Structures are given as C-alpha cells and as structure tokens.
Amino acid sequence: MSVNENKPHLYVLPEDDANRQIINGFAGCIRDRYSRSFQVLPIARGWSNVVEKFETQHIAKMRRNTNTHLALILDFDDRLGDFRNRLNDIRAIIPDDLKDRVFIFGVLSEPENLRSSTRKSFEKLGETLAKECAMERYELWQHRLLVHNQSELERIHPFIKSNILPD
C-alpha cells in the first residue's frame, strides 16, 4: 500500500535486505489505520546507492511535497571513524531546506552482528525498536551497535509519535 501524500508520511530507503527486514518488523507494529503514513521503498543495494537515490529521486520529490519525510537506513561497516565520516558525508549532501525531514539510521557495523548479539531475528529487532518508540523506553536503542542513532531518534521521535505510532 502506498502512502497518503496529502498527510505527513515517511518513506524508508533501506540499503540492503537485512535492513529491509528490520524495517518490515517495525512496520508490522503499525496499526492498519496508520499504515498509509509509512512506506518501505525497494532496497538500494549499497550505501552509496542510498545516497545516489536520495539525490536523484527524493530531493525533488520532497521539495514538491512538504508532507514527505525520508529515513535512510544503512550500515556503517564497523569502524567508528568511518561511521562519522560516512554520516557527515551524507549529511553534507542534504539541502538545508530538507534537513529537518531527512533522517539517517543504521547499525554501527552490520545488521547481522546486531542479530547475533541480541539473538533476535531481523523482524523481531524492528518490532522491538518500534515498541520502544511507542513506549518511549529505549533499551535496544541503547545497544552498543545502535546507540549512535540517539540524536536522529530524538529528531524523528515527534514525527513518529504523532504520525506513525500514535497512542
């Protein structure tokens, strides 16, 4: 089902299939009446493709519709320095007029490492992350492979709370 573009909505662009499965677990927690506020896009197949798709497909679309928000979901490939460099490089290409509607999330290494560490399936990880957002109780979000997402979580939380996971 596609989003209702006349209301605030969130597109989610995952880097790979593991990230897509996590997002699908998150989406499984969304009540039917809010499902038109959230749409998972086809996987980009690599973090550089996430950036390329953002630049070529989503910037213009977001400028045409102020209801559109976008979450880029990628892997940061293990090294904290690489994480910061990659995150800063991506943030640098986000136009100023869209910065408050674009969010960047990801596992510090690879989703497979988070799955192994927690002993949860990708879908269960997404479900847990969604439930924590709804309850405003962030245990899994504080995992060493996810804690770096804190500032993005704080930025997106008001949108998620009012449009995606109300109540």
Q: What is the mean pLDDT of the chain?
A: 90
The number of folded domains in the chain is 1
What pLDDT sits at residue 87? Answer: 82
**CATH assignment at residue 36:** 3.40.50
What pLDDT sits at residue 33? Answer: 57
Give the closest residue to 27 by CA, choosing from 152, 101, 122: 122
127 Cβ contact list (under 8 Å, min separation 6) = 25, 26, 28, 29
Contact 75, 110 (CB under 8 A): yes
pLDDT < 50 regions, the chain:
none
Tens digits of residue pLDDT in 10-34 = 999 999 999 999 999 998 887 655 6
Q: Report if residue 47 sits inside a domain.
A: yes
Q: Report if residue 53 sits inside a domain.
A: yes
The token pair at 38 is: 């959230």
What pLDDT sits at residue 166? Answer: 64
Q: Report if residue 67 sits inside a domain.
A: yes
Q: Report if residue 24 sits inside a domain.
A: yes
What pLDDT sits at residue 89? Answer: 86
Q: Report if residue 2 sits inside a domain.
A: no
What pLDDT sits at residue 35? Answer: 73
